[in-house]
């Protein structure tokens, strides 16, 4: 493995090879198995994580002990930046949804890189703006729509976060489990199961094992987004 893996990480993508090499030498590789806890809410944290391969869910527990999924991150995404910037404890749990490979960077090294290479900071801010927009949409969706609509909206978020678009279709390999989709949408697993069957029956989606295909993504977003 060499520094070329960093070219697939959006916040580093535009940097020159020698800078990538420097960054690569500062990072430590870690592997997590599916369901492993990577970060725990309330823990003290001073490291940034870059997800080279895999997917993770960002969760918090509601007062009555239910898991609420705030977001799902995939290949090339980063997490752990919030504690670095505000000095508070970890804001959420981060749990591997599948076997995942991450790179870890120490706070001091990361802040140093941001100072020396403002392009990284700009890319990071762009991503944070996207995340804030999504959270705004999620708040709106959770308060306004019914369970069916919330599930469809969660599928759109999964398509954005984990899907690959091809000829108007979006393919999501390794679809999270129905309970995870329920925890994103604030509903029960049974309702998710019913809704997926309904969408399947109407031709909006196709399912094969853990793969889900949205047959016409633009139309799906028009209908449910």
Binding site for ligand CMP (CB under 6 A): 39, 45, 58, 70-71, 79-83, 90-92, 94, 131, 135
Q: How far is the CB of 45 from ligand CMP (least distance, A)?
A: 5
CB atoms within 10 A of CB 57: 20
Structure-token pair, residue 39 = 């970060």
Nearest to 117 by CA among 28, 13, 7, 221: 13
Give the rounded distance of the alpha carbon of 65 from its chain centre: 22
Nearest distance, CB of residue 11 and ligand CMP, angstroms: 12
Cβ of residue 33: shortest distance to ligand CMP, in angstroms?
19
Residue closer to ligand CMP by CB (options 175, 184) is: 184
Structure token digits, residue 212? 């889900």
- What CA–CA distance (Å, rounded) separates 75 from 9? 8
CB of 58 or CB of 156, closer to ligand CMP: 58
Looking at the Cβ atoms of 70 and 171, the one nearer to ligand CMP is 70
Q: Which is nearer to ligand CMP, 172 or 199 (CB)?
A: 172
81 or 196: CB nearest ligand CMP: 81
Least distance (Å) between residue 133 CB and ligand CMP = 11
79 or 204: whose CB is closer to ligand CMP?
79
Q: In angstroms, what is the minimal distance from the CB of 207 to ligand CMP? A: 26
> CB of 57: closest distance to ligand CMP in angstroms?
10
- Distances in Å between the Cα of 217 and the Cα atoms of 28, 62, 76, 150 are 38, 32, 23, 17
């Amino acid at each position: 493995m060499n520094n070329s893996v960093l070219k697939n990480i959006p916040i580093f993508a535009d940097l020159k090879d020698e800078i990538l090499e420097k960054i690569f030498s500062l990072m430590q590789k870690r592997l997590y198995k599916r369901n492993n806890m990577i970060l725990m809410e309330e823990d003290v944290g001073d490291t940034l994580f870059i997800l080279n391969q895999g997917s993770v869910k960002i969760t918090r527990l509601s007062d009555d002990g239910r898991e609420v999924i705030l977001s799902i991150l995939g290949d090339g995404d980063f997490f752990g930046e919030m504690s670095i910037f505000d000095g508070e404890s970890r804001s959420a749990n981060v749990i591997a949804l599948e076997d995942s490979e991450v790179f870890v960077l120490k706070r001091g090294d990361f802040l140093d890189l941001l100072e020396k290479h403002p392009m990284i900071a700009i890319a990071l801010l762009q991503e944070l703006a996207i995340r804030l927009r999504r959270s705004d949409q999620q708040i709106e969706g959770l308060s306004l729509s019914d369970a069916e609509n919330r599930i469809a909206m969660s599928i759109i978020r999964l398509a954005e976060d984990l899907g690959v678009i091809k000829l108007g279709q979006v393919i999501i390999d390794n679809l999270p489990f129905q309970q995870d989709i329920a925890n994103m949408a604030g509903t029960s697993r049974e309702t998710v199961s019913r809704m997926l069957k309904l969408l399947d029956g109407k031709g909006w989606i196709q399912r094969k094992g853990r793969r889900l295909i949205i047959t016409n993504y633009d139309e799906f977003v028009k209908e449910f987004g």
